[in-house]
Amino acid sequence: MDALRASYGDSSSDSDTDELSPAAENPGEVPTSGKQGKESISLPPPPLSLLESIGSTGDDDARSSLDVYSTETVTRVRNFPHVHGNYALHVYIPVFIPLLAKKEIACVLKRVASLVPHLHLVEADIPLNILCNDDQKLDHALGREFHISLGRSVPLRVHQINSLVSMLRQKLQLHKRYWMDFNKWEVFVNDDSTRSFLSLEITTSGLSEISKQINAVNEVYKLHNLPEFYKDPRPHISLVWALGDIRTSLKGAVDGELKKLRAGGCVQNRIFTSKFSGIECKIGNKTHKICKLPDE
């Protein structure tokens, strides 16, 4: 059992992927700094020299550098309290943004970063305004792996791991390749209103298939007494985040800039399209391949 715990890293290592609620569905929520039982984490800033290595390394090394670089201390709130023997669970579809789409997305992010302060790259603590000052660094940042969540990020007991992974593989192993259209900019806020996210949502192609996959994950969660996903899921990838509930200012900035870009013919209805290639499950520091389609 000790060896199993060691392979999954520190217990209750919380993911950066908070539970998200659509901004439009929670207009009356009051932003909070956390609920009782939540833990605040103050992250010390690593040396500035780490950022300089991004431009001179390969993509994989660049992503590692992006993961640890920060120029400011950011206080976060855990999704759940630290409990020895618990591991953060996250089931998701990995997504990579195509080269051409990165240019359009970068254009929008630069404009939004100039209007809304204190935005950070998702899964890291890198100020977006710093990345926007260097096209190469921003390109590397958008070359990272993004995630479509298929279930809530919740704590999992060590004795449940093998059973949960096995059941997920049974439920999700048979899947055909399908297309996912990311066609809408949207702002989401987590359940506690402690963080806001600027995201790209899927509302057309791929929505039906992902909804079926979420239902399958829900069935496995229920068998392990874990909370199910949202009743009406809205599949998306999150690009940047900010502390607190800033849905009004962030949504206003995005909508305003998109309107300007559309007037100039710079924005397409479809932001980008990606092929579904598999599902992964991260538990603690260990990632399990639930299903993977062969490369074409």
Measured over the CA atoms of residue 77, residue 80, residue 82 and residue 85, the dihedral's sign is: negative
Residue in 90, 120, 140, 147 annotated catalytic: 147
What is residue 39's predicted lDDT score, i.e. its pLDDT?
A: 44
HSE-up (13 A, CA, CB side) for residue 136: 10
Going from the first residue of the chain to its last (296 residues), give the mean pLDDT of each consecutive group of 10, the final group possibly shorter. Answer: 56 52 42 39 41 41 47 54 82 96 93 95 86 92 95 95 96 90 96 95 97 97 96 95 96 92 74 96 96 76
Calculate the average pLDDT of the chain. Answer: 80
Q: Name the helix (H) or strand (E) containing 74.
A: strand 74-77
What pLDDT is attached to residue 252?
A: 96
118 in active site:
no
Tracing tokens 């899947």 back to the chain, one arrives at 175
Reduce the DSSP state of residue 14 to 3 states and report it.
coil
Please identify which residue in the block is written with the tokens 């390749």: 177
Question: What pLDDT does 153 receive?
Answer: 93
* 242 Cβ contact list (under 8 Å, min separation 6): 116, 118, 119, 120, 195, 196, 250
pLDDT of residue 174: 79
Which of 255, 253, 232, 228 minimizes the C-alpha distance to 242? Answer: 253
Place of tokens 């992250």: 43
Q: pTM of the entire structure?
A: 0.78
Rounded Cα–Cα distance for residues 78 and 38 (Å): 6
266 Cβ neighbours under 8 A, 6+ residues apart: 104, 107
82 annotated active-site: no
